[in-house]
Amino acid sequence: MRHRSRKGQIKNSGWGNIMKFTGLSGALILFSACSLTLVPEGTANGASSQQEGEWTQGAPQPAPSTTSPSNGTAGSQSRFNVSLAPVASNRLVRVAEDQTRASGTGVALGPQISSLPIKSDRATKALQSFRTSCSSLVRRIDQSGLTQGSDWQLACDASKGWQDNDALRFFTSYFEAVQVGDGKAHATGYFEPQIQGSRVRNENYQVPIYRRPPNLIDVDLGLFSDELKDKRVRGKVEGNKLVLFEDRGQIDDGALVGKGLEIGWAQDYIDFFFLQIQGSGRLALPDGRVMRIGYAGQNGRDYTGIGRVMRQRGLLADGKTNMQGIVEWLRANPVEGMKIMRENQSYIFFQELTGPGPLGAMGHPVVPRTSVAADRMFVPLGAPVFLDVEHNIADGLWVAQDTGGAIKGSNRFDTFWGAGEEAKQIAGGMSSRGQALVFLPKGTFAKLTGR
């Protein structure tokens, strides 16, 4: 019944028109001439595109209380003091000049892993996810500058036969804790939303869900110039030029209609808009089955966090700066709401997922309460991460298996909470400060610093 009332809102408030979706050699020249958008980190290689962290402002907001399945205690999202002390700044060692990476930001050897309050069940899940990541970890180029693929080989080999019920000893045996920069962490949350959808279009399902268009092209600018290493643009070819791909407004107005790109149809535009922000999700189909969809590409346009825009314009009342408050405002102000959503020109394309998932930036399934998104320039993807933050539900051991367009900088993390209403509530209210440590193979710090 709730969705019928939403449908009525759309028809009666001006949204009806919205629902009726009736040679790369010149790339570098064009890039310098027309400010072609740099592809956000985390979306260049098939990563999910979650942009969480825009919902709350200033000091961390109390997230909804919940019951943690791991310990069965209520109120597990209460805020507590952070107990992990940062390593003194005079112990930081810079091992490179490039301060856009961890190696140039500085690293310091942290406390013994055995001294950290890691719960055995969290260690077990982290071992399982680390083991899954190993096939990619040993082959990847670590953009943080901290490790090489071969550095992880010993731990990865050991993980294959290691008993899950002895996981904590695995981490104390093969890893050392390192602080990157000042270690000051900011943790937010993302989840896998479920919305009403259909495989076929009808009067109740009018919002198209597109697969990646075949003419959408990624360009690795580092192939053309060392100065542009790790920079990418995305667009389409017209004649002999690479030009901007259509933005959200143009796509909503029908730029892709008639191209056979629809893989499904959503019932509600706002629900689908926020599913795009998460980068993956589930469609509850009319016959009771569920269709899972995952990130397949992005149009190359800049992401604009509408929560931040709405706060700056004074549109959100006190206590309404979380995701739920934003959705309430959009539904109460549909015409202005559509204009604001279109200010986020970024648009996500999807693929149907039939195996485990959703998939993270490494191409492996992300695991609720275990996988975390990080900036690959500061954390090797696949590395274990220890968080001690104000919302204690996020404390403990995670594995960096994903990235996100808004997850930028050292010690910036986006924790994954899975699917369902509880996951939505936790992720939507998660904005927590504290300290972070990255686990690297034993001997890495000495190898980097000569100490």
The more confidently predicted of residues 326 and 40 is 326
Is-contact 347 247, C-beta < 8 A?
Answer: yes
Indicate whether 12 pLDDT > 50: no
pLDDT in tens, 139-155: 989 999 999 999 999 99
Mean pLDDT over 409-418 rounds to: 96
- Candidates 193, 210, 195, 202; CA nearest to 264 is 210
405: nearest Cα among 451, 373, 363: 373
| pLDDT number for residue 229 | 78
Q: How confident is the model at residue 113 (pLDDT cuts 50, 70, 90)?
A: very high
For the residues 398-412, what does the mean pLDDT come to? 92
Whether residue 328 has pLDDT greater than 60: yes
Q: What is the pLDDT of residue 357?
A: 73
- pLDDT at residue number 78: 55
The yes-or-no verdict on residue 243 having pLDDT over 50 is yes
Q: What is the pLDDT of residues 286-312, one digit of tens each?
A: 999 999 999 999 999 999 999 999 999
Q: What is the pLDDT of residues 171-186, one digit of tens each?
A: 999 999 999 999 999 9
Q: For residue 358, is the peptide bond before it cis, meaning its omega torsion is within 30 degrees of 0?
A: yes
Q: For residue 19, what pLDDT band results from cuts at 50, 70 and 90? A: very low
Chain segment 52-79, per-residue pLDDT in tens: 445 443 333 444 444 443 333 323 455 5
Q: Is the dihedral of CA 232, 235, 236, 241 positive or negative?
A: negative
Nearest to 411 by CA among 108, 38, 46: 108
Strand partners, 436: 387
Please report, as a single letter, which amino acid is at residue 419: A
* Nearest-angstrom CA–CA distance, 133 and 390: 28
pLDDT computed for residue 433 by the predictor: 95
**What percent of the chain has pLDDT above 70?**
82
pLDDT of 206: 98
Confidence of residue 3 (pLDDT cuts 50, 70, 90): very low
DSSP designation for 450: -
Q: How confident is the model at residue 80 (pLDDT cuts 50, 70, 90)?
A: low
Identify the structural domains of the chain with CATH numbers, from first to last: 1-82+100-451 (2.40.240.50)
Q: Give the C-alpha separation, 393 to 251, whole Å.
A: 39
Q: Is the pLDDT of residue 90 over 90?
A: no
Q: Which of 1-5, 264-268, 321-325 has the highest mean pLDDT?
A: 264-268
Q: What percent of the chain has pLDDT over 90?
A: 67
Q: Taking Cα atoms as reference points, which of 21, 5, 389 lies closest to residue 206?
A: 21
Instruction: Identify whether the C-beta of residue 402 lies closer than 8 Å to the C-beta of residue 443.
Output: no
Question: Which pLDDT does position 79 carry in this prediction?
Answer: 56
| Mean pLDDT of the region 234-263 | 97
Contacts with 167 (C-beta within 8 Å, 6 or more apart), sequence order: 120, 123, 124, 126, 127
Give me the residue label for tokens 């259909």: 198
Contact between residue 397 and residue 118 where contact means Cβ atoms under 8 Å apart: yes
Angle at 362 between CA 428 and CA 406, to 5 degrees: 40
Q: What is the mean pLDDT of residues 178-200?
A: 95
Instruction: Among 2-6, 18-22, 49-53, 116-120, name the most confident range.
Output: 116-120
* Residue 119, pLDDT above cutoff 70: yes
Instruction: Give residue 379's pLDDT.
Output: 98
pLDDT for 54 = 52
pLDDT for residue 380:
97
pLDDT at 406: 79
In order, the DSSP letters of 67-88 are B-TTT--B-TT-B----PPPPP
Element (H, E) at 155: helix 153-161
